[in-house]
Amino acid sequence: MSKINAIITGVGGFVPDYILTNDELSRMVDTNDEWIMTRVGIKERRILTEEGLGTSYMARKAAKQLIQKTGVDPDTIEALIVCTSTADYKYPSTASIVLGKLGLKNAHAFDLWAACCGFLYAFDMASGLIQSGRYKKILVIGADKMSSVTDYKDRQTCALFGDGAAAVLVEATEEQNIGMMDSYLRTDGKGLPFLHMKAGGSVCPPSHFTVDHRLHYTYQEGRTVFRYAVTNMSDDCALIAERNGLNKDNIDWVVPHQANMRIIEAVAKRLEMPMEKVMVNIERYGNTSAATIPLALWEYESKLKKGDNLVLTAFGAGFTHGAMYLKWAYDGK
């Protein structure tokens, strides 16, 4: 019996219309375009401003575009995984809301929380389910409304984040040497003090005190997170490259999490990759957390060719981190 491989057969994406520029931010908090561009490389970010719309709305829009592009029959989709840190509600899951809006009749759905590394974790899980032979089509969506947890009075973090979503269809194939080839995922558990939301969970439930003291926003110790991200993303990529015989000559694309341009450049340098072979859209979208990697695949899809070697890597709260080797399965659309 032939080995079953898991491949991506299509990508869909969505970003809100509203563009929050550095110039506009500078009128909200003590910052400026030069300061932001020098430190993180972000010029603008998309913000979902419509009242009553959350992460599930963007996830649904991305998934609908994917379904239309690929022509996949929604009734054949067997599972839906939404990776997010900004769920619509504590419960039910955002995935269940998306499934209901899409009208998927033959799938189960769940959320996966792994912060900015969520897409790698979710895609790895979907690939394992496909490779087991029990599933043939799984929808994986990375989506985050980071503006909902961003304090626009905090100059250290307010410039970093944006909103967006992207979806991939993961399917089974018996074609060999294609699709998900290898992954290395880790959680070191040391990240809590450095990157978290102080209130809103079971340890510190919402109260007048937590709201008054602005404890429902992202807290980050930037220098520590930066150092861990550079080290782990670079090391993880190097490990994946070494054990799969990959190098600057046969890697076609590096797909890094879009958190900081200096982190992206450090990863590229470690792999000796020219920046023109690194997917970058941070300048226009900022950090959309679990959506950054699939959004990059969505934007660069037309440049991809069947057989291209891609190295994906991310780092997030927890700390979660990892890298993945993916051999692309179709010519760009």
| Ramachandran angles phi, psi of 219, nearest 5° | -110, 130
Contact 6, 171 (CB under 8 A): yes
Residue by residue, DSSP assigns 224-275 as HHHHHHHHHHHHHHHHHHHHTT--TTT--EEEE--S-HHHHHHHHHHTT--G
How many alpha carbons lie under 13 Å from residue 71 in its C-beta half-sphere? 0
Contact 21, 191 (CB under 8 A): no
Annotation says 244 is catalytic: no
Q: Six-digit token pair at 212?
A: 């008054």
Among the listed residues 5, 22, 83, 116, the single catalytic one is 116
Among the listed residues 237, 287, 309, 321, the single catalytic one is 287
Specify the DSSP class assigned to residue 192: T
Annotation says 287 is catalytic: yes
Distance between CA atoms of residues 178 and 63, nearest Å? 23
Specify the DSSP class assigned to residue 111: E
Distance between CA atoms of residues 163 and 153, nearest Å? 18
| Ramachandran angles phi, psi of 83, nearest 5° | -95, 125
Q: Six-digit token pair at 220?
A: 């980050």
- In sequence order, the β-bridge partners of residue 19 are 46
Contact 99, 80 (CB under 8 A): yes
Q: Which helix (H) or strand (E) holds 100?
A: helix 94-102
Among the listed residues 5, 232, 257, 321, the single catalytic one is 257
Cis preceding-peptide flag for 193 (omega within 30 of 0): no
By annotation, the residues acting in catalysis are 116, 257, 287
